[in-house]
Structure 1
Amino acid sequence: MKVTTIGFTQKSAERFFTLLKDAEVRTLLDVRLNNTSQLAGFSKKPDLEFFLSGLLDVQYIDLRELAPERDHLKRYQSGELTWDAYAAAYIELLAKRRVESNLDAVMFDGACLLCSEHTPDRCHRRLAVEYLNSQWSGRLNIEHLL
């Protein structure tokens, strides 16, 4: 099953929606903790739902099960937690939530996980999809859209 990830930061709306279209994304899975921030621009939840549906016929799903905990994120952003400590805490959270059992793997086929970070290297969307792939016996073919 093909699954992609994308961050909206450092992308114009044109680039963002073109990447989704070219990747043939059918469902966008929003894994952000705060998807209504003014800093989100065109990717604020209500606007994004409208654009995805109207421009690309893509379904929008707010997937909070894969969002990080606010405290961990704030501690990482402030420098109190290193990336490795944050990543470990996030993976532990996913295991505690049993996301691999509570989410249907089929919903990830043709889906794209959305977060804000430009690249996936230090973003929880990469950790989430890699965690799920490890739990689902490598059934996901992952591509990061840049």
Structure 2
Amino acid sequence: MDSFKISTIGFTKTSAFSFFDRIKQSGAKKVFDVRLHNTSQLAGFAKADDLSFFLKEICHVEYTHEPLLAPTDDILKAYKRDKGDWPTYEGRFLRLMADRKIESRFSPGMFQDSCLLCSEATPHHCHRKLVCEYLNSKWDGSLHVTHL
């Protein structure tokens, strides 16, 4: 089985310099924005149109928004707004990915030299980590994941 290099990154609690430098250093050629909503005023330099421009100009990296790899509003609100617990959020999001059959809508090679982006500063309680783990469980561990 081939191995495909993928990284993940969050944009909160970091400077623009550190964020873009980590992406450049990772060797990523494409960023998959896995946020459901990518235009929030709170996103600063990571608002969709600005982010696409900055990634291209600073890092020479392609940008694509991929909400199919994001939780639904219901799942997000139950966890964030209503202060839900991580195990419940994790279970709901894993079921959503299974229902969406994301493993058959993507291929491991699509993620070669890519980076999954969301807002959380660390991957520990973040859906980007769950996406990688889920896909690896379906693709025999073919994704070699680095959390930036």
- Following superposition of structure 1 onto structure 2, how do residues 37-52 of structure 1 map, counting pairs within 5 Å? 37-52=40-55
For residue 80 of structure 1, report the CA deviation from its aligned partner: 5.1
How far apart are the structure 1 equivalents of 2:123 and 2:133?
A: 11
- Partners of 2:138 and 2:75 lie apart in 1 by 23
List structure 1 segments (4+ residues) > 6 angstroms apart after TM superposition: none
Q: 1:81 Cα shift?
A: 2.7
CA distance in 1, matches of 2:81, 2:43: 20
Q: How does 1:1-146 map to 2 (within 5 A)?
A: 1-79=4-82, 81-145=84-148
Distance, in Å, in 2 between the alignment partners of 1:54 and 1:137 is: 35
Q: CA deviation digits over 1:110-132, x for unaligned, max 9?
A: 00000000000000000011101
d(CA) in 2 for partners of 1:42, 1:80: 26
Deviations 1:94-114 (A, max 9, x none): 000000001122111100000
> In the TM superposition, what is the alpha-carbon distance from 1:61 to its structure 2 partner?
1.0
**Cα distance, 1:144 vs structure 2:** 0.3
Partners in 2 of 1:54 and 1:77 — Cα distance? 33
Gaps of 5+ in 1: none
TM-score (norm 2): 0.95
Count of paired positions? 145
> Counterpart amino acid of 1:49?
S
- The secondary structure found in structure 2 opposite 1:11 is coil
CA distance in structure 2 between the partners assigned to 1:80 and 1:11 by the alignment: 24
Root mean square deviation, CA, Å: 0.9
Which ranges of structure 2 fall in alignment gaps of 5 or more residues?
A: none
**TM-score after normalising by structure 1:** 0.97
What CA distance in whole angstroms lies between the structure 2 residues aligned with 1:64 and 1:33?
5
Q: Which letter maps to 1:48?
A: L
